[in-house]
Amino acid sequence: MGALRFDNRFTRELPADPETTNQPRQVFGACYSRVKPTHVAAPQLVAYSKEVANLLDLSDETCASSHFTKVFVGNRLLKAMDPFAMCYGGHQFGHWAGQLGDGRAINLGEIINQRSERLVLQLKGAGPTPYRRSADGLAVLRSSIREFLCSEAMVHLGVPTTRALSLILTGERVERDMFYDGHPKLEPGAVVCRVAPSFIRFGSFEIFSARGETAVLKELVDYTLRTDFPHLGPPTPEKYPLWFEEVCRTTADLMVHWMRVGFVHGVMNTDNMSILGLTIDYGPYGWLEDYDPDWTPNTTDAMGRRYSFGNQPQIALWNLVQLANAIYPLIGRIEPLDQALESFQQRYQKRWQNMMAQKLGLKSFEHGTDEILINELLSVLSLVETDMTIFFRRLAMLDADADKLNEISDDALMAPLESAYYLPEQLTPEKKTRIGNWLRSYIHRLSRDATPVKTRRDNMNAVNPKYVLRNYLAQVAIDKAEEGDFSMIDQLLDLLRYPYDEQPDRENFAQKRPEWARHRPGSSMLSCSS
């Protein structure tokens, strides 16, 4: 662990809560409260990410040591650590929720690695903090497995995200009422060590603005500019709009990625929006199986569907508006903020169009014709239950000659897509005709590009993953782990290292959701924090 070089800038440069007891409270005029992780009975390492260990210059030998387990469960503090919980607020489901903060996340400190990158180490589930409100500060194995696996899967998909170093069982039981329906159960407790350049959220700024603590707000904004946006130069009020514009850009890009891979965050409250445009706080997230823009994995949101797949870009914009309101007191002018919000819309639209063109293997998005092609595709995908991931992957296998389309039946055209359909009986003759017609117009469009089939296939396979963390796969790994068999966690971690590659001996992980998982809790239904 000697390789870890600490530089705890957050606690050094920002105002601390003067109170040091670990009582739930409102914390005013401070960005954080110092708090230590709670000692646990019998920590046991379940898994770690070699890639993140590498980022931190930690060897495999170190990660396998009992010292590592003790440190990353929170039982042993290194001398240079300065543990703290952050104060933030947030809009939850569209309403201002006041102070939230790290209720169960404890930052151990910041590392500068050998590549001079700054990385914050944060334990999730390591015990209560002053921000816990009435909750226990703990996390259970099932949600920790989901966070650990998904954050690493996202990296390999090329989606910006916080990382996960380790997943450690605490050896203690945690009571959870999974669906808040009066049926609590004791579950294994666990701690994930998350790693990111910064865990600052939109809500980190909102709290100071809401309380009229403009001086602290300015300190935090200046700190963020100095630490995470150094390319903007020294922080001055003229830089604030440029900074906000950059947050709009990275957030727009993140939304395009989520829409590309079929990821639904599930709880896009402003406290779950990273200032760096990273996917953060893996809770009731899910992966689209059958393409349905209205789908949300979050049962808490089943009525409003605020955070459904298709709503995500608009919600990101809504959240950016809240951030703009929060920093407005430092800028005092609406126009530059409005302009940046406007640029979000434009950037998102343009990048989404390009992304869809790439998914289809087109050289570029052509205005006029491609809007129609893509709109009809989205209708066709919703026509019958169609697995989004399999559909795009199989679409690359299409190999038809535009000149001979008259001679081909719809059935023959659709043959490569067969495995994408959940309920073949839904494919009535009219629906087949509509899908067939779309495929015909797509093939005509491809012929205009004249990209060689092999090149098109490779291009499509580079943006359309074959393997994603299907909801039921995570659930099977959880079921096994709860029985003491952790093998599937490592198996999935390894599978998801190469999501765009064919992995012939792992075809089973690329198949559509089995019927038993359709209504299985944990696999199709999840609730907020657990």
Residues noted as catalytic: 271
In the set 38, 224, 272, 471, which binds ligand AMP (CB under 6 A)? 272
Looking at residues 118 to 147 of the shown chain, list those that interact with ligand AMP (rule: CB under 6 A).
131-132, 135-138
In the set 160, 241, 277, 283, which binds ligand AMP (CB under 6 A)? 283
Nearer to Mg ion, 69 or 92 (CB): 92
Distance CA 414, CA 392 (A): 13
Nearer to ligand AMP, 57 or 136 (CB): 136
Distance CA 258, CA 276 (A): 15
512 binds, among Mg ion, ligand AMP, none (CB under 5 to 8 A by kind): none
Nearer to ligand AMP, 222 or 281 (CB): 281
Question: Total binding residues for Mg ion by CB under 5 A?
Answer: 2
Nearer to ligand AMP, 97 or 330 (CB): 97
Residues 205 and 330: beta-carbon distance below 8 Å: no
What is the 8-class DSSP label of residue 426?
G
Q: Assign 3-class secondary structure to 45-81.
A: EEEECHHHHHHCCCCHHHHCCHHHHHHHHCCCCCCCC
**3 state SS of 366:** coil
421 binds, among ligand AMP, Mg ion, none (CB under 5 to 8 A by kind): none
Distance CA 46, CA 125 (A): 15
Instruction: Name, in order, each residue with C-beta under 8 angstroms of 478's C-beta and a sequence gap of 6 or more.
Output: 141, 142, 145, 146, 522
267 binds, among Mg ion, ligand AMP, none (CB under 5 to 8 A by kind): ligand AMP
In the set 75, 272, 386, 461, which binds Mg ion (CB under 5 A)? 272
Virtual torsion, Cα 328, 330, 331, 337, nearest 10 deg: -40
Nearer to ligand AMP, 465 or 522 (CB): 522
**3 state SS of 154:** helix
Helices (H) and strands (E) in the chain, counts: 17, 11
The region of 115-123, 124-132, 270-278, 320-328 touching Mg ion under the rule CB under 5 A is 270-278
What's the one-letter identity of residue 99? Answer: Q
Nearer to ligand AMP, 182 or 484 (CB): 182
- Closest-approach residue to Mg ion (CB): 281
Q: How far is the CB of 133 from Mg ion (least distance, A)?
A: 13
Of the candidates 417, 386, 392, the one whose C-alpha atom is nearest the C-alpha of residue 289 is 386
In the set 81, 86, 100, 443, which binds ligand AMP (CB under 6 A)? 100
Nearer to ligand AMP, 129 or 459 (CB): 129
Question: Total binding residues for ligand AMP by CB under 6 A?
Answer: 18
What distances in angstroms separate CA 372 from CA 347, 444, 445, one per listed residue? 20, 13, 11
Of the candidates 247, 219, 162, the one whose C-alpha atom is nearest the C-alpha of residue 32 is 219
Residue 352's CB is within 10 A of a number of other CB atoms, namely: 18
Q: How far is the CB of 242 from ligand AMP (least distance, A)?
A: 29
Looking at residues 5 to 44 of the shown chain, list those that interact with ligand AMP (rule: CB under 6 A).
none
Instruction: Name, in order, each residue with C-beta under 8 angstroms of 200's C-beta and a sequence gap of 6 or more.
Output: 86, 220, 224, 228, 274, 275, 276
Nearer to ligand AMP, 27 or 381 (CB): 27
In the set 27, 35, 102, 217, which binds ligand AMP (CB under 6 A)? 102
The region of 254-262, 264-272, 372-380, 490-498 touching ligand AMP under the rule CB under 6 A is 264-272
By CB under 5 A, tell whether 147 contacts Mg ion: no
Distance CA 114, CA 447 (A): 49
Task: Write the Ramachandran bin of 260: left for phi over 0, alpha for psi from -120 to 50, otherwise beta.
Answer: alpha
The region of 35-43, 265-273, 331-339, 389-397 touching ligand AMP under the rule CB under 6 A is 265-273
Residue in the structure block whose two tokens are 């401070």: 30
100 binds, among Mg ion, ligand AMP, none (CB under 5 to 8 A by kind): ligand AMP
The region of 47-55, 99-107, 213-221, 443-451 touching ligand AMP under the rule CB under 6 A is 99-107
104 binds, among ligand AMP, Mg ion, none (CB under 5 to 8 A by kind): ligand AMP
103 binds, among Mg ion, ligand AMP, none (CB under 5 to 8 A by kind): ligand AMP
Burial 402-430 (b: 16+ CB within 10 A, else e): eeebeebebeebbebbeebbbeeeebeee
Instruction: Name, in order, each residue with C-beta under 8 angstroms of 104's C-beta and a sequence gap of 6 or more.
Output: 124, 125, 126, 127, 128, 129, 132, 135, 136, 137, 138, 139
Q: How far is the CB of 18 from ligand AMP (least distance, A)?
A: 21
Dmax (CA) for the chain in angstroms is 79
Looking at residues 273 to 312 of the shown chain, list those that interact with Mg ion (rule: CB under 5 A).
281
- Closest-approach residue to ligand AMP (CB): 103
The region of 256-264, 265-273, 405-413, 517-525 touching Mg ion under the rule CB under 5 A is 265-273
Nearer to ligand AMP, 135 or 402 (CB): 135
The residues with which 95 forms a beta bridge, in sequence order, are 92
Cα distance between the two ends of the chain = 31
Looking at residues 489 to 528 of the shown chain, list those that interact with ligand AMP (rule: CB under 6 A).
528
Distance CA 164, CA 146 (A): 11
137 binds, among ligand AMP, Mg ion, none (CB under 5 to 8 A by kind): ligand AMP
Q: Which residues bind Mg ion (CB under 5 A)?
A: 272, 281
Q: Which residues bind ligand AMP (CB under 6 A)?
A: 100-104, 131-132, 135-138, 267, 271-272, 281, 283, 528-529
